[in-house]
Structure 1
């Protein structure tokens, strides 16, 4: 979908912002760019919509070089969300959302229906909010409107430049959950710049960690945390994340899953004392079996954190649960594995448990 080939960016004062940058962002992927201040992550993102032009190398979208697109054609197909959302203060929420669709000559009813659809996706009732002015919204609500304004004309690509960094922690966490939920529905290609490793791991399908204009490691959150490439990666990740807030798929990635197909189960090819997760041939979740008896299935989403997973185990009354990404089964996790993970991340000093 988006591909950088040998890209360099040197500014007139001689600052080398990007050095031999090679990266491919897959269609429908949410890629987070992260690194220290001045590492080049925002410059990299701005080159995608040509707010910054590369000094050398080539960038492609759908196999076509950026320079072959007209600026209008390119930017109309790319949504852009900034930290300072800059809604037009004299316009209503609906009028703000309508700006790009109107430029594209959409019909009024089509724009109105699209605005209502997007508002509902981010949990804002259209009948309450569409006619409000930006000054009547909270910071989190304004940022949600900024996100859906960028999506209004149904672009292929969404660029997000530290969009939540100015918000309070509660609003920020709520918006992160909204983006994860929204991405499961809309499946856009998203490049998300952040300086927060917790945000990067919570949101990204993959993380691109940069330093001094270069890519240091590109990997899934699990691999970045469990298999850091060098000392810079280890020090950047650090121990910032509470083990209770770790995504459950990072725990599950350390466990051995027992996954059978429906056919194998029907053939009786299993140990009745072992717990199994059963799936159909196309990977859809069917049921869980524990000690030979089918259990009610309560799946654990891969981006759920450990604390939420503990509550889910209590609700399910089971010792093993499937870990799912959307409707796809990706692993299993047990209560014992959660306890082992937490035990490995904590220690006792003078009778006090620390993380």
Structure 2
């Protein structure tokens, strides 16, 4: 009797081919896990004194300081593109700066005039006002200083006045970026007492003492005041993540409506941990240094600037950010509208 023949079967080729869904543009869009939309973006703007004034920021290609009248066409374009909010930062004239930063709560200061002008023209767009003293102080620190020490509780009194002043001008969101302990609860109480109980607070809850802020400080003119001093006694140590969770927990307990992580790309892990732990509206700030690196590399032909910017912004969404402050908001929204 002949022996049965045993055929050797070839190893089956993988039935699960991950590339199947990647071969068409429509299929890639169909199964994309995260999407970037204009409604995710907030455009920061630098406000300059005068009329018909614009100044390029050399360290931030494509970014300009604009007088209030020139902000209006930018706000109009943001509305057209579906960008929900603008974040305003003042370029305070040197003669308006002081050791105590009193210009911060002058109800006719540059910020208040810009807020009122934009709100009159475009009431539908949200305005975010920075709450910190560094644009207004001669020393460039975010708080009041005595004998070289940044004063916490005394600074909070000033911040409450500043936040209330911004709210009275029509600011929708006050955004304390100062990192003083206890300021969120004090600002909330101050706003409520002044009749601004519906004004939102977006806390810069985890703001790190970062090297990536340099171009921003150039843009608002605080770098020259700060000199070689740093902000390490109140901004967070880049080595820490558990501390960020404590900071966020405290600010939520003090009634912050939203929390911010700053900078963005070097701290994607912090964004993810915060979102997972608290499930509150979580924002990321794609800061000036991150933006400037991409732009500078693109100018030198070292990378595709538009693609790199898009990839960076989608990384924030992937990490859990609900919204992103980025100097590339307008150009990104334009590109999204084109479908690029």
Q: Could you say which structure has the higher helix fraction?
A: 2
Q: Could you say which structure has the higher strand fraction?
A: 1
What is the TM-score of this pair, normalised by structure 2?
Answer: 0.30
